[in-house]
Amino acid sequence: MKSPESSIEPVKTHCPYCALQCGMTLTPGAPVVVGPRDDVPANAGGALCQKGWTAAELLTHRDRLTTPLLHGEPASWGEALDYVAGRLRALRAEHGPDSVAVFGGGGLTNEKAYQLGKFARVALGTSQIDYNGRFCMSSAAAASIRAFGMDRGLPFPVTDLAQAEVVLMAGANVAETMPPFVRHLPRLIVIDPRRTATARLAWLHLQPAPGTDLALALGLLHLVIAEGLLDKGYIAERTTGFEAVRTSLASWWPERVERVTGVPVARMRQAVHALAGAAKAVVLTGRGVEQHAKGTDTVTAFINLALALGLPGRPGSGYGCLTGQGNGQGGREHGQKADQLPGYRKIDDPAAREHVAAVWGVRPEDLPGPGRSAYELLQALGTPEGPRALLLFGSNPVVSAPRSLAVAERLRSLDLLVVSDLVMSETAALADVVLPTTQWAEETGTMTNLEGRVLLRRKAAEPPPGVRSDLQIIQGLAVRLGHRFAAEPREVFDELRRASAGGIADYSGITYERIEAETGVFWPCPSPGHPGTPRPFLDSFATPDGRARFVPVEHRAPAEETSEDYPVYLTTGRVLAQYQSGAQTRRIGPLVEAAPESFVELHPSLAAHLEIDAGDRVRVTSRRGSAEGVARITDAIRPDTVFMPFHWEGANRLTNPALDPTSRMPEFKVCAVRLEAVR
């Protein structure tokens, strides 16, 4: 008989936070202990950042919700679910199926994301479902699909980066957002309006004004052409559409770009020569260039640059976007997006509808069509044309949506707001019904990381009594609405595999056993015998003719320019010790100690002009609201720009919900503000 000690085996799993999904072990017990895991390539050698090391602290946190709340009062699960189902039935009967909306998140497992999409379309019959990944990956996704016919964040394993000689990273601060990622990087060129922790590691830092990355990318490509650095053979063999791009670039000569962006021509020239001179090179984009009303075109411009240099689809080279949320990749593949069905299928494609309807046992014509995108959905809540009820999983829009005061107002105007969360988030605090749910270590499920590698997170701890998983919650509601839904993750995953079969993101050959045995499997993986696809573009791209598409794009100014009343740009971003809306990380002692409060980063010249001293409380005001933070004075930021982190409620009161016409991404990364010291 085993002793109690020896039966406690560390469980191999992954971190609850970002898309790098570092491998970690959890040793059950009180407390659960986090250990490094060195068999996962993303964090080879067992690297973890402070968020990962301290992740287990939330498992037993005193703020955990352990009982459903009905209008603020504790209720039994039966009461809560009966109430919700009753209200949903009544609203649908009176106002039709689209009166009920669903909002998901990029942190949810593939199983949950899939099940939410199915629940919305089948059990609720609503078209009104979208998720917070719209605020995250949609611009990069749209641009990748336009160029390559497929969107897989990194179309190569993360370990390929170390083979490159140069990486150009536009709008990403990985040294703070996913620190172990830094270990994969070779010589680095960083594009960022701030001299971030990542920019400090760079060989070359280009520091454009906020909202001008697109012009910078056009200038870089102009120089590639002018300096004779084109990969003409590659362009001829593997791409289409270059001539139109060449013509469009005649208007973007480097000196003009310098005037628009503030980046010296000499530095642009240095960057393109480093990229073109490298035997292998990679172009990466992040939210900094993507979260704009022109984000899709900006990413397209960087993809054009990569194509002109002949990078995508060559081993050790390429273009990739850095997915943010833990399951930001899988979360955008399986149907919680307004226009999408599982397997990265389009909901308006008749063949896709037929396939998925057959898996779901419904008629294709009964599936709703595309619904509103995330911000448009939030904006419509409680309006005469919009939904009257919202079910929200794995998201906290009161903190994370743009123009958040107005979004909170919309949420308050609903007939019914149901929030599933671990803790009383700012959004849960507005809910009629709060459902306490399990968290990462208390349930099993798959995550698809930034490489497109499907990973298995294993259950390592029992949830607190009274808590249910999202899958159980969805099942409980579905049953009450007359539908049978599985709640076991493996059962749901097997259904997801069938639903994704034949789609772009085909998971049909992936099983929990294979993931375990192979430390993850890259999609597409169309059959059990298929090895998975680490590098999907080596032979051809996922376009009808197999060639990547150049698309001409034009720079335009930010949706909101500075003015006399709002003379300074605001840009927003992350800090190392916090994650997303902070619902998790703002409750963990060491992380709060490292990053206790919101702040406003500003340049010494601006601070002197406004008579603001370091440590002063500063009020920042845009056309949409005001927020406060502590002044941090640093020359790491441009004098015309201030920075606020978005992990605390406040920064997004200011941000501009101008949407990208293609991706419907809001313009989080630039708006006009004024500042004053609060005395």
Q: C-alpha dihedral over 322, 323, 326, 327, to 10 degrees?
A: -140
Span of 247-255, 329-337, 459-467, 526-534 interacting with another protein by CB under 8 A: 247-255
Q: Within positions 596 to 635, which residues make up the interface with another protein, using CB under 8 A?
A: 604-606, 608-610, 635
Cβ atoms of 304 and 551 within 8 Å: the answer is: yes
Contacts of 277 (CB under 8 A, 6+ apart): none
Q: Does 590 bind another protein (CB under 8 A)?
A: yes
Residue 12 token pair: 């191999």
Q: Output the smallest distance, CB 345 to another protein, in A.
A: 32
Nearer to another protein, 501 or 592 (CB): 592
Q: Output the smallest distance, CB 245 to another protein, in A.
A: 10
Q: Does 35 bind another protein (CB under 8 A)?
A: no
Q: Within positions 639 to 658, which residues make up the interface with another protein, using CB under 8 A?
A: 639-640
CA distance readout (Å), 145 to 181, 504, 532, 542, 663: 25, 11, 20, 9, 11
Nearer to another protein, 226 or 424 (CB): 226
Q: Output the smallest distance, CB 235 to another protein, in A.
A: 14
Classify residue 134 as exposed, middle or buried by CB count within 10 Å of its CB (0-12, 13-18, 19+): buried
DSSP per-residue letters across 214-258: HHHHHHHHHHHHHTT---HHHHHHHEE-HHHHHHHHTT--HHHHH
Q: Within positions 250 to 309, which residues make up the interface with another protein, using CB under 8 A?
A: 250-251, 253, 255-256, 258-259, 261-267
Q: Within positions 547 to 586, which residues make up the interface with another protein, using CB under 8 A?
A: 562, 567, 576-577
Q: Output the smallest distance, CB 41 to another protein, in A.
A: 15
Q: Output the smallest distance, CB 534 to another protein, in A.
A: 24
Tokens 């376009």, located at residue: 543
Other residues' Cβ atoms within 10 Å of the Cβ of residue 244: 12
Cβ atoms of 168 and 271 within 8 Å: the answer is: yes
Among 39, 63, 227, 366, contact with another protein (rule: CB under 8 A): 227
Q: Output the smallest distance, CB 543 to another protein, in A.
A: 22
Provide the residue type at 504 as one letter: I
Nearer to another protein, 185 or 525 (CB): 185
Among 28, 53, 204, 480, contact with another protein (rule: CB under 8 A): 53
Nearer to another protein, 237 or 243 (CB): 243
Nearer to another protein, 405 or 594 (CB): 594
Q: Does 48 bind another protein (CB under 8 A)?
A: yes
Reduced 3-state DSSP string for 422-481:
CCCCCCHHHCCEEEEECCHHHCCEEEECCCCEEEEECCCCCCCCCCECHHHHHHHHHHHC
Q: Output the smallest distance, CB 50 to another protein, in A.
A: 5
Q: Output the smallest distance, CB 635 to another protein, in A.
A: 6
CA distance readout (Å), 533 to 316, 452, 470, 497, 633: 15, 9, 30, 16, 47
Q: Output the smallest distance, CB 290 to another protein, in A.
A: 22
Nearer to another protein, 138 or 562 (CB): 562
Q: Does 370 bind another protein (CB under 8 A)?
A: no
Nearer to another protein, 89 or 632 (CB): 632
Q: Does 592 bind another protein (CB under 8 A)?
A: no
Nearer to another protein, 492 or 636 (CB): 636
Return the biggest CA–CA distance within the chain: 78
CA distance readout (Å), 203 to 284, 302, 659, 665: 16, 19, 34, 31
Cβ atoms of 482 and 35 within 8 Å: the answer is: no
Size of the site for another protein (CB under 8 A): 58
Nearer to another protein, 226 or 405 (CB): 226
Encoded one letter per residue, x for contact with another protein by CB under 8 A and - for no contact, window 168-207 reads ------xxx--xxxxx-------------x---x-----x
Closest CA to 170 of 201, 205, 138: 205
Contacts of 633 (CB under 8 A, 6+ apart): 601, 602, 603, 604, 607, 612, 613, 614
Nearer to another protein, 383 or 605 (CB): 605
Strands 548-549 and 666-667: unpaired
Nearer to another protein, 258 or 442 (CB): 258
Q: Give the integer Cα–Cα distance in Å for 473 and 154.
A: 33
Q: Output the smallest distance, CB 673 to another protein, in A.
A: 14
Q: How far is CA 663 from the centre of its chain?
A: 13
Residues forming the site for another protein (CB under 8 A): 36, 46-50, 53, 174-176, 179-183, 197, 201, 207, 209, 225-227, 243-244, 246-247, 249-251, 253, 255-256, 258-259, 261-267, 562, 567, 576-577, 590, 593-594, 604-606, 608-610, 635, 638-640
